[in-house]
Chain A
Amino acid sequence: MWCELCQGNFFDEFQMEGVAAEHNEIYLELVPENLSRALKTAQSAKAVKIKLTNKHCPCLRVAVELPSLSSSSRIVTHDIPVGVIPRRLWNDFREPSVPDFDVSIYLPVLKTMKSVVERMKNLSNSIVIEANLNGEMNLKIETDLVSVTTHFKDLGNPPWTSEDGCQSSAQDRDLESMAEARIDIKKLQQLLAGQQVNPTKALCNIVSKRIVHFILLHEDVSLQYFIPALA
């Protein structure tokens, strides 16, 4: 999973210094729940300050300034323990390169997709997702008891301008023919459950029998999910 935030859209003040001038980056690992808990108090906050500190151990300090009627404001501070990832491991955290996909398609309303996938999850462990360049996408499950297929149509396919001709495989493709991949249904359900709102743009790229790649754009946040195909 890959999430990108543009700092200018969130922070009034932003300052950092990486390990070295030529590698001006910092990689920290933390427990996501800790961060979400720290930000819970921030719902009514006036300001939030995030700072990397080293008191007893490396910590990400989240200081939440709460509004008050008097002149002295209340401040809630959380120190979230973090692990600093050394530079030799940075390669493991690179954004995966997007492979040449066979079909790229806009996703339907995620709420509809979510309820379909939730029911299908009760029935099967894996799901086949298939789509073509004619704006059609199908979700399929098949077990001994039941087979269920949900057909979406008129979804539209994003126009990919080939910069270097590497996506030409998708453009020469027959409109009707489906590219499909079987993936773990729990992973797809987690992706959909995590979406609180319908993103402004959601698309799905399928590399036949190899990987399904989701890109969700919401306001200024972009989220990318890579779900590998099952054997």
Chain B
Amino acid sequence: MKGFAAAWLAWALLSPCGGTAWPTHTACREGGLEVLYQSCDPLQDFGFSADQCSKQLKPNLNVRFGLILREDMKELFLNVALINKGSSVFDYSYPVCERDQPKFSFCGRRKGEQFYYAGPVNNPGFAIPEGEYQVMLKLYNENGSTLACANATVICS
């Protein structure tokens, strides 16, 4: 009886509204580098993978990215915050789509569209020092509405 009640308590606490945490996915795992991510958008999960993963990050990585747009994407901004051992290493904001400069072919897509991108991301190349890093990524539009949000863990060994 006791076990049953405890199990039910656990079920009641976790299942109906215990916060639908999205599963943790692997974006890449090779060459001593492992990148895990979890969607922090309460409304949806998304899919992401990077083609080449190594401690010596190559410039202009190719990625694959798929999700459903919940907002228009006329203007799109990316926020990246890197945290190492609890302290912020850098915080960076990058305009992806602007009205006077839509950098990528997907700029201007509309709310409700299923979005799939496979292509380069125009990143600089750099060597990742050994360690474990927390990376927070957020894509938002001109109204500040979130299109995608990710908590990522980068493990470099």
Q: Judge: A and B partners, yes or no.
A: no
Residues of A bordering B, CB below 8 Å: none
